[in-house]
């Protein structure tokens, strides 16, 4: 019975991955729209979007940045500021990167939703590896 459950989980994982890859562009657009709807009023995005949620405005005005560019914002959050600096959702924890890209570990703010998505990602690793 356990083997059947494992096979079913494996098949569900593969089906889910197939849907994600077949509909990648649409899914990315939906995710961006959800992120903008939730976070357009944050201190960081307000600088570029002035509270608007238009995806084209985002793509035209919000620059690609490095960790060092947003580190001052992350430091403020880590030091206890509770306003919506980078994210509208409350930061539930910080995780540390391995530090392999620049030598120093980086603080990554996490929300409860981020944690759930990370858990989902980990469940998808098994079908890919198999």
Digit-coded pLDDT (tens) for 42-79: 999 999 999 999 999 999 999 999 999 999 999 999 99
Look at residues 95, 113, 114, 115 and name the one whose alpha carbon lies nearest to residue 105: 95
d(Cα 112, Cα 86) in Å, to the nearest integer?
15
Q: 4-27 burial, b if ≥16 CB within 10 A, otherwise e?
A: eeeeeeeeebeeeeeeeeeeeeee
pLDDT tens string 6-30: 677 777 777 877 887 888 889 899 9
Q: What spatial distance separates the first Cα and last Cα of the chain, rounded to whole Å?
A: 19
Residue 84 structure tokens: 């919506």
What is the structure's pLDDT at 56? 94
Mean pLDDT of 94-105: 78
Among 130, 96, 88, CA closest to 113: 88
What's the pLDDT score for residue 77?
93
Q: Spell out the alpha helix ranges (H) of 40-87.
A: 43-49, 55-61, 67-78
Q: Which of 15, 62, 16 is nearest to 35 (CA)?
A: 62
With CA atoms as reference, report the closest residue to 77 among 56, 67, 91, 65.
91
């Amino acid at each position: 019975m356990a083997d059947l459950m494992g096979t079913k989980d494996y098949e569900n994982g593969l089906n889910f991955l197939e849907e994600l890859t077949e509909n990648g562009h649409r899914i990315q657009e939906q995710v961006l729209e959800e992120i903008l709807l939730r976070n357009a009023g944050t201190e960081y995005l307000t600088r570029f979007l002035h509270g608007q949620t238009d995806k084209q405005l985002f793509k035209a005005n919000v620059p690609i940045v490095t960790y060092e560019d947003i580190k001052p914002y992350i430091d403020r959050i880590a030091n206890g500021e509770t306003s919506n600096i980078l994210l509208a959702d409350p930061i539930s924890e910080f995780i540390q990167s391995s530090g392999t890209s620049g030598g120093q570990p980086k603080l990554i703010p996490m929300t409860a939703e981020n944690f759930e998505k990370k858990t989902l990602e980990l469940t998808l690793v098994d079908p890919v590896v198999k």
